[in-house]
Amino acid sequence: MNNDTKNIKKIIECIQKEIDLFICQSMSLEIIEKRNDIECIGKRYFSTITLEDKGLFTITMNIDDDLFDVFFNNFFDCELEENEKEELIDALPSEIINTIVGLAIKDFPEEFENLQLGLPSLESINGADYQFSNTFSIKTNNGSLCFHIVYSDN
């Protein structure tokens, strides 16, 4: 296994670890079950990590409505106007993913210091030329979510 492959796998491990910590510590939820497959529940949301000159990670998160409500209430613990609430509902999934990745960055290998978080292009979502992929689902005491992390050097 070459060094780039080890680093890519390390990044995926860092993201998975931070997802667990985020759910248990930041959200105060209990992980009841974690499986290395995907049970697509709820709506699908996307985010990306672009590693300068090293490739692209696309992170897909599916989350059921019950757990989405828990996340929303945790992130926005205040009274909101209906139009404000709609805007925040649209922004929350990317905010969740970017928060998790932002926290995971501290454990990324040093070679990956220059990166950008953002929303993926349609081409990166639909592209099938992935070198690495990791999929897992998590059931909590308040609902379920699943993640699909793929890496492409395109």
Q: Which CATH class is domain 3-152?
A: alpha beta
Phi, psi angle pair for 117, to nearest 5°: -100, 150
**Per-residue pLDDT in tens (0 to 9) along the chain, 154 residues:** 677 778 888 888 888 999 999 999 989 999 999 888 666 666 777 666 666 566 777 788 888 888 888 888 888 777 778 788 888 887 888 788 888 888 888 888 777 666 666 665 555 555 556 777 788 888 999 988 888 888 877 6
Torsion of CA 96, 100, 105, 108, to 10 degrees: -130
The full 3-state SS of 35-88, as one line of letters, equals ECCCCCCCEEEEEEEEECCCEEEEEEEEECHHHHHHHHHHHCCCCCCHHHHHHH
pTM: 0.79
**How big, in percent rounded to 5, are the helix, strand and coil portions of the chain?**
45, 30, 25
Domain boundaries, the chain: 3-152
- Which of 26, 27, 16 lies closest to 69 in space, CA to CA? 27
Kindly state the tokens that stand for 31.
């992980």
- DSSP secondary-structure letter at 112? G
